[in-house]
Amino acid sequence: MDILYGNDVVKAMSEQIKRELDNLSGYIPHLAIVRVGERPDDLAYERGAVKRFEKLGLRCTVHSFAEDIGNQAFSFAFDDINNDNDVDGILLLRPLPRHIDEKAITEIINPIKDIDCISPINMAKVFSSDETGFAPCTAEAVMEMIAYAGIDLTGKRATVVGRSMVIGKPVAMMLMKKNATVTVCHTRTVDMEGACKNAEVLVAAAGRARMINHNYVSSGAYVFDVGINVDDSGYMCGDVDIDDISDIARLCTPVPKGVGTVTTSVLAKHVLKAAKMRREQ
């Protein structure tokens, strides 16, 4: 079985991003990261994004707010960032604290600046295959890895485990756009093992540590692991038991160093696209 590491995909994407940046006549796209509180996973993603943008020569500004900021105060502050003409893209780290009306924020964000698909407008564009929208960065990272691996999805049987609006559903739509025949599994699926075993391409986004073992994987399958879990020993792992499927699958992405590694590069790609769209307007 081949292991597809995220860094291999990142290198290829970085070259393309730098070429496109050279075509912007010196303009440097600008990302605003908006964070409320100091959740460890938010801070880790933020650090990764800032580091990636620095390497690519893109601008990135972090707007951090205390966890106890009032709903109205946060709404006003977010509105200022949303209307700042110097900002090309906005990454809102979620979930927000419960006292903040997250739904209201998703409805007011400028869709052109919404580079991680929190706006219902962009989600509708993903479902209608409208190229002017932005898919969730993690979902598109899966598609970038599939493309890098040279997998022609036309006619392929693909199964997605998980139906969230962040990964499962948008990935399913994007796979269908590439002419795959898609099955989506969830907690109420009957014979999930059979549905997965039938797949030539399997995307695991269930959020359950190492649940995908040899019983779920067909011979020669391509397996993309989107899960981020912590096992009983305190180690990070994915949804896939990669050792258990090593003699069955043709290819698998690891956790860590897999899909998550590509996500910040997709973020940069989206900010570059947003900057182009705004300049054209």
pLDDT at 231: 87
30, 86: one domain: yes
Specify if 182 maps to a domain: yes
Listing from the earlier edge strand, what are the strands of the sheet with 30-36? Answer: 59-65, 30-36, 89-92
pLDDT at 234: 87
CATH number at residue 226: 3.40.50.720
* Digitized pLDDT (tens) for each residue of the chain, 281 residues in all: 999 999 999 999 999 999 999 989 899 999 999 999 999 999 999 999 999 999 999 999 999 999 999 999 999 999 999 999 999 999 999 999 999 999 999 999 999 999 999 999 999 999 999 999 999 999 999 999 999 999 999 999 999 999 999 999 999 999 999 999 999 999 999 999 999 999 999 999 999 999 999 999 999 999 999 999 988 888 999 999 999 999 999 999 999 999 999 999 999 999 999 999 998 87
pLDDT at 185: 98
Specify if 126 maps to a domain: no
Q: Which domain holds residue 93?
A: 24-112
Contact 7, 141 (CB under 8 A): no
> Phi/psi class of residue 179: alpha, beta or left (left: φ > 0; alpha: ψ in -120 to 50)?
left
91, 172: one domain: no
Domain count, the chain: 2
Query: Positive or negative, the Cα torsion across 50, 51, 56, 57?
Result: positive
pLDDT at 140: 98
138/119 Cα distance (integer angstroms):
16
pLDDT at 44: 93
85, 197: one domain: no
87, 30: one domain: yes
Helix, strand or coil, per DSSP, at residue 159: strand
Q: How many CB atoms lie within 10 A of CB 88?
A: 27
CATH number at residue 69: 3.40.50.10860
91, 204: one domain: no
Contact 158, 175 (CB under 8 A): yes
pLDDT at 281: 78
150, 76: one domain: no
Run of H or E residues at 173: helix 168-177
